A and B are shown apart, each in its own frame.
Chain A
Amino acid sequence: MFTKKKKEKKFTLVRKRVPFLFILPWIIGFVVFTLGPLAFSLIMSLFDWPIAGEAKFIGLDNFNKMFTADPQFYDSLVITLKFALIFVPLNLFVALVLALLITQPIKGIKIFRTIFYLPAVVSGVAVSIIWGWMFNSEYGVLNYILSLLGIEGPNWLIDPKWAIVTIVIASAWGVGSMMLIFYTDIKGIPHEMYEAASIDGAGPIRQFVSITIPTITPTILFNVITSVIAALQQLTLVLLLTGGGPLKSTYFYGLFVYNNAFKHHELGYASANAWFMFIIILLLTLLIFKSSSAWVFYEAEVKKEKKGGKRK
């Protein structure tokens, strides 16, 4: 193994520049479309930067204003966190239930898999138009169906208490992509594990708790992180379904930043807002990762080591 590595090293020494040629597109793109803008955004956050006219350096005033003088900042933050707190657990739970359902060995299950995934390929524009029409309080079919069941449906998009629920329901329509991630993971669990458990007298619930859940914890972690990030950045549905209303009850953080930039033309202030969200996302991700050592079992790592061993 050692000599082989040496040989490989010789090969790569000769072609020292070649790998950089391969990754050059990404390096250019990273500098021009990510790093540059990122640095520029940080600089802008220290300026009073109108869309037309002179930019003025104001130090940390934007952050000061955000924390002390703009109640909308806190309102938007609270609404967004509230949304994430409802949306993330619900989405995970539904995705997991659906994934378990579509791994059942019964007839026609592939059709259901397709049906469940279908909304995930649909644009947010279409999602908001379709659900907006379903939720319509005058002609909406949803409240009609509810009335048939003897329930008086709320004024979904007009009532500030219910508007956030409509966003949750419409967002959860795209749960299919997460379902599919769980599905492929659950399908990868060797059948013998369940058989062995069965012989030992473990019922389906016991099997789920002791085999399925521990095996898929890395995937749960992955899904928690991606859905928290997605929830905190939700914008398309809010823009199109509720416009932030009624009474700013769905004025999510993403909309707050967007409007500060492109409606109120306070580019510096909006940059400060965006950086705050960036830091929140970084901290949350770090927190989730840190906590993960307590509940995530990395079977994949063990597997990889085994694979690597074989190759050597």
Chain B
Amino acid sequence: MKITRKHKIIVYSILVLFSLYFLFPFIWALITALKSETEVFSFPPKFVPDVPLFSNFLDAWNSQPFGTYFKNSMIVTVLTTIGQLISCSLVAYGFARYDFKYKNILFILLLSTMMIPWDVTMIPLYMEFNMFGWINTLKPLIIPAFFGSAYNIFLLRQFLMNIPKDLENAARIDGANEFQIFYKIFLPIMKAPLTLIAVLNIILVWNDYLGPLIYLNDQTKYTMALGLASFQGVHELQIIPIMAMTLVMIIPPVIVFAFAQKYIVEGISGSIK
């Protein structure tokens, strides 16, 4: 395709315009977080603070138990990721590499669970977790991950379907048992889709607000999302520390995304085909 100079200028200007929409709110949040109390409520708003107050971040961090929130979010994120990786790889392998009775019905069932609105299971799940004595603990946020999630299983299964069947048959002839085949042959080739699942799960779980909102009531159990939201709810006018902590909350998923962008872009194309 030949690209003229005029065409280029048009494309770049549209790109820059869109970038303003996607990027400016972040920049504005950062500017706000670095302002002084008087600057933040001045009108017209100042675009560059006189002295950027980096200490705002430390003050905000110490004003609430954000260390605890951060730790809780870390625990939930790491454990759910481990749970998803183990369970989804096993289940996807079962669906992709074997023929068995009721397989198709079970797989359709699995896919259809993706359509169930969150509202429907929200109440009974709350009561169930209450019965287990899990309310106000991190368990309801962590344990279900060890039983897989439909979307992740689907993604992995699509990947595994494309591997020739001869692979495990050769290993079977060599005397490997079924679990060894999964563990020694298939797990290593699943590195890319497993990374994608880990990344998607980290972003999803770190950002989750509704789960923690329903299951946690004690401040010492709060995750970052819930802690930040409740901080904002109570101290609506303390916009500087709120913005500072919002930026802190954004950092982990952004870092993960920066490292794994390649997997996300490639993984998405694999999932829809």
User: Which residues of A are at the interface with B, using a C-beta cutoff of 8 A?
Assistant: 8-9, 11-12, 15-16, 18-23, 25-30, 32-34, 36-38, 40-41, 44, 98, 101, 104-106, 109, 112, 114-119, 121-126, 129-131, 133-134, 138-139, 141, 144, 173, 176, 180-181, 183-185, 187-188, 194, 198, 218-219, 222, 229, 232-233, 235-236, 239-240, 254, 257-258, 261-262, 267, 270-271, 273-275, 277-278, 281-282, 285, 300, 303, 311
Contact = CB atoms under 8 A, between A and B. Distances in A.
Given A28-B147, A126-B246, A281-B117, A23 B91 contact: yes
A6 to B, nearest CB: 12
A254 B214 contact: no
B57 interface: no
Nearest first, the 7 A-B pairs at minimum CB distance are: A29-B147, A22-B94, A123-B207, A184-B269, A19-B98, A37-B124, A23-B94
A9 B87 contact: no
26 contacts: A15-B178, A19-B94, A23-B91, A25-B87, A25-B146, A30-B113, A33-B147, A34-B113, A106-B11, A114-B261, A121-B254, A123-B225, A125-B209, A126-B228, A130-B28, A134-B25, A139-B45, A141-B28, A173-B21, A181-B268, A194-B1, A233-B118, A236-B210, A240-B209, A258-B119, A261-B123
B119 A274 contact: yes
Contact of B272 (A131, A222, A273): A222
B188 interface: no
A119 B24 CA distance: 11
Interface residues of B, number: 91
B44 interface: yes
Contacts of B12: 106
B120 A278 contact: yes
A261 B18 CA distance: 40
B99 A181 contact: no
Residue among B12, B116, B117, B239 with max Cβ neighbours from chain A (10 Å): B117
Interface stretch (B48-56, B164-172, B190-198): B164-172
A222 B151 CA distance: 14
A270 B22 contact: no
Interface of B: 1, 3, 8, 11-12, 14-15, 18-19, 21-23, 25-26, 28-29, 32, 40-41, 43-45, 86-87, 90-91, 93-95, 98-100, 103, 106, 109-110, 113, 115-125, 127-128, 144, 146-148, 153, 164-165, 169, 172, 178, 182, 203, 206-210, 213-214, 225, 228-229, 232, 239, 242-243, 246, 249-250, 253-254, 256-257, 261, 264-266, 268-269, 272-273
B261 to A, nearest CB: 7
B265 A184 contact: yes
Contacts of B144: 29, 33
B271 to A, nearest CB: 9
Given A123-B250, A130-B26, A44 B124 contact: yes
A298 B165 CA distance: 26
Nearest to B248: A126
